[in-house]
A and B are shown apart, each in its own frame.
Chain A
Amino acid sequence: MTVDARRNGSTFRRRAAIAGGTLILLALAAILGPLLYDTDPNVLDLSRAAEAPGAAHPLGTDESGRDVLGRLLAGGRVSLAVGFAAVACSALLGVSLGAVAGLGGRRVDGIIMRLTDAVMSVPALFLIITTLALFGTSVVGLVIAIGCTSWMGLARLVRAELLSIREQTFVEAARALGTRSSSLLLRHALPHLLPSVLVNLTFGVGAAILTESALSFIGLGIQPPAASWGNMLTNAQSYLYASPWLALYPGVMIVITVVAVNILGDALRDAAEPTEF
């Protein structure tokens, strides 16, 4: 290892640590924040609408007089929860479809991969808004809709890894020793898959948070009065002239979260496959 590479390695580890720390802080704020900061984020007070930050309301109030800090904390809870749940949903779909395609023989593989290609070439946002319009907007519906339109990359990854693992000698050895295919998958293939799946899922969390915020912003995601970082910005545009700070906080929170998630993803990828030249 050259001196240069070692220095890069340590700055990288530092960056990953900062990103991880930021995420832990955000998660703590989302979980504990609403308990510690005892202000109802949904109470309307039109007499104190759109106030600048002050003693009673540390970050000011929104256009309906609701406390912005309280809504940021409550919204963070929703945005992070939806992001993680949607990724769990897409992980379930992606890993199982990818595993079936990778292990199921040519016919099954062909069908699943054509389906994957098809879903990948369709604008997901339009599929999601169609689904939400037909089934109505609910948190569960939102999670499922995002999950069902984001599993494709993972399915391809799992399939490709399984196809290459199948050819390796350690699998041949295990098979020769009479290992059943189920335990072959769980004990031998899965540990090999885990790093790249984890990297993929990490980036998925960022993407899911972005999708949720966009849907909530246009009014098809989290429904008011419940707060999410996305729907806090729905009305911000109309008050941009009078109180631009309302548009600032939720956006900054989204950017910080997604940047932290993506840095972590990059760090995990470098740790999983150290093939940078």
Chain B
Amino acid sequence: MTAFLLRRAAHALTVIFVVCTVTFVLVHLAPGGPAVLADPKLSSEEQAAIEERLGLDRPVVMQYGLWMARVARGDLGESFLYEVPNRRAIGERLPNTALLAGTALALSVLLGIPLGLWSAFKRGGWVDRVVSGLAFVAMAVPTFWLAIGAIFVFAIAIPVFPAGGASAAGEAGGLIDRLRHLVMPAIVLAAVTTAELLRYMRSSAQTALHQPFVRVVRGKGVQERIVAWRHVLRTALIPVITALGIQLPRLIGGAAITETVFAWPGLGRLGVQAALGRDYPLVMAITLFVSAAVVIVNLLMDLLYLWIDPRIRLEA
């Protein structure tokens, strides 16, 4: 168990290290080099001062070391579009993204896993056929188009939900107001992840169903409902948790698109705006931060394996 946790933590550190290195390399390969990080509005003296501060006259290896040290201290530079430290810009938007992505993730798990299990047990039944068909289409629909469609139907044709934003203009917004704004973006964002989880769950539960222990449990006369929820679910979940780990980065990427369409004031929309505004320091800071956050959430999700898979828990 300790070995498993150490291995996963080492993996997380490697990922963060690789992302920092890739970002460093990208900046140095970019036309204009790391000087693009300076504000284009600056005079040449100011630029020279910044270059000196960034240590651009030093050898690349040393610059790399300095860059890593800065990132390790949590210094993510300063946005030149908003003229605030990137850390603050990120901190302001983070709660909104966490709310949206968290809700979407919860929806996908709560819908995808039971429906996938059901489809595996009643294979070829109408639930299986409808749900599998929907999942197949959901994976082919661009998130942003689904968002536009949702706005057309539920904000324009039948105006039941607001078309965008995280709360009504001007007010801080009560709980009901916040929820009304959350419904459409969360469902749109959850669509693809739900479809993916459902397909994984269906095939993984099918594999589990054909294992000898299920025949033994059934032979003992255990109710089918308990066979599904206690025995098959648990075994089938192991590969699904792995799939969830792979889906998480995609969900966060999808959040950037969803936030953009619904004018949801989150990190993803900030990143897209920063990229469009050529605010390099902010785009990079967001990429670094989001990657690290995804890796850490994934590390926490690894703890699920301990709960679900006794082989890891009991490993010497």
Contacts and interface: CB of A to CB of B under 8 A. Distances in A.
Nearest to A259: B140
A121 B144 contact: no
17 contacts: A124-B253, A126-B287, A133-B274, A133-B278, A133-B283, A134-B26, A134-B36, A214-B257, A218-B260, A218-B272, A220-B275, A236-B148, A237-B151, A240-B148, A247-B145, A254-B141, A255-B140
B286 interface: yes
Nearest to A251: B145
A126 B144 contact: no
B15 to A, nearest CB: 4
A217 B272 contact: no
Given A135-B30, A262-B139, 19 more contacts: A114-B11, A117-B15, A121-B295, A123-B249, A125-B256, A129-B256, A129-B283, A133-B280, A134-B26, A210-B140, A214-B143, A230-B142, A233-B144, A233-B145, A240-B156, A247-B149, A247-B152, A258-B140, A262-B140
A136 interface: yes
Interface residues of A, number: 45
B31 interface: yes
A202 interface: no
A218 B261 CA distance: 9
A198 interface: no
A127 B140 contact: no
Contacts of A28: none
B109 interface: no
A118 B17 CA distance: 9
A206 B142 CA distance: 11
A136 B254 CA distance: 22
Given A220-B272, A220-B275, A254-B145, A123 B290 contact: yes
A233 B142 CA distance: 11
Interface in A249-267: 250-251, 254-255, 258-259, 262
Nearest to A126: B287
Interface in B267-316: 271-272, 274-276, 278-280, 283-284, 286-287, 290-291, 294-295, 298
Nearest to A132: B275
A122 interface: yes
A217 B257 contact: yes
A244 interface: yes
Nearest to B253: A125
Contacts of B278: 133
Interface of A: 114-115, 117-127, 129-136, 206, 210, 213-214, 217-220, 230, 233, 236-237, 240-241, 244, 247, 250-251, 254-255, 258-259, 262, 277
Contact of B253 (A117, A123, A130, A251): A123
8 smallest beta-carbon distances between A and B, as pairs: A125-B253, A258-B140, A251-B145, A118-B18, A134-B30, A133-B275, A123-B249, A129-B275
Among B142, B252, B274, which residue has the most Cβ atoms of chain A within 10 A? Answer: B142
Interface of B: 11, 14-15, 18-19, 22-23, 26-27, 29-31, 36, 136-137, 139-145, 148-149, 151-152, 156, 206, 210, 245-246, 249-250, 252-254, 256-257, 260-261, 271-272, 274-276, 278-280, 283-284, 286-287, 290-291, 294-295, 298
A247 B261 CA distance: 13
A131 B287 CA distance: 11
A27 B234 CA distance: 45
Contact of A126 (B18, B145, B261, B290): B290
Contact of B137 (A133, A136, A255): A255
Contact of A233 (B148, B151, B290): B148
B245 A127 contact: no
B18 A119 contact: yes
Contacts of A119: 18
A240 B151 contact: yes
Contacts of B283: 129-130, 133-134
A122 B294 contact: yes
Contacts of A125: 252-254, 256-257
Contacts of B253: 123-126
A122 B274 CA distance: 19
Nearest to A209: B142
Among A123, A125, A244, which residue has the most Cβ atoms of chain B within 10 A? Answer: A123
A224 to B, nearest CB: 13
Nearest to A260: B140
Contact of B249 (A120, A206, A251): A120
A257 B36 CA distance: 39
A262 B141 CA distance: 12
A126 B250 CA distance: 10
Nearest to A262: B140
Contact of B246 (A120, A251, A259): A120
B145 to A, nearest CB: 4
